[in-house]
Amino acid sequence: MTTDTTVTWLTQEAYDRLAAELETLSTTGREEIAKKIESAREEGDLKENSGYHAAKDEQGKQEARIRTLTQLLRTAEVGDVPESHGVVEPGLVITASIAGDETRFLLGSREIAGNSDLDVYSEQSPLGEAIIGLKAGEKTSYTAPNGKSIEVAITSVDTFAG
């Protein structure tokens, strides 16, 4: 059995939002899906009952989300949005030239970004691991999952405004 002890940095707002989602899914969400399954079950033959199968599929996705949120919140480090000091670190917005294309993204968890339109890259991704600790103007490269080497140049490191 392996245990993932990756710490995810979250703002207090993101933590509260995710905790509320977990509470809703664990209570009323489970009750609602159980009612859907029971209602579909009453329709008869389960082998050809698409409503039943759809409800069971929805239940599986919901339970997976509950497990994900539980683990995320258990290992979360909650704090204020980090101020940029010009060094790439989780929770900051990075502007970089990646393989010649200018890209702006949040380094961290999708959960931090909330409703932001920013792309998000994990600090555990090949890109994230390659750029942690770099400053604006510095360059590096990383190996993509397809085996290609990709050049990255950091343009700016900014505070995430939410």
Q: What is the pLDDT of residue 3?
A: 45
Domain ranges of the chain: 8-78, 92-159
Cα 32 to chain center, whole Å?
Answer: 25
**Rounded to whole angstroms, what are the CA distances from 26 to 32, 46, 57, 77, 143?**
10, 26, 16, 22, 40
Establish whether domains 8-78 and 92-159 are of one fold: no
Residue 28: exposure state from Cβ atoms within 10 A (0-12, 13-18, ≥19): exposed
CATH class of 92-159: alpha beta
The pLDDT tens digits along the chain (162 residues) read 444 456 677 878 888 889 999 999 999 999 999 998 888 888 777 777 788 888 889 999 999 999 989 988 898 888 777 777 889 988 889 999 999 999 999 998 777 777 778 888 988 889 999 999 999 999 999 998 899 999 999 999 998 876
Candidate CATH numbers 3.40.50.150, 1.10.287.180, 1.10.530.10, 3.40.50.80; the one for domain 8-78: 1.10.287.180
Q: What is the pLDDT of residue 2?
A: 42
| Pair 59, 33: CB distance under 8 Å | yes
DSSP secondary-structure letter at 47?
G
Q: What is the pLDDT of residue 41?
A: 83
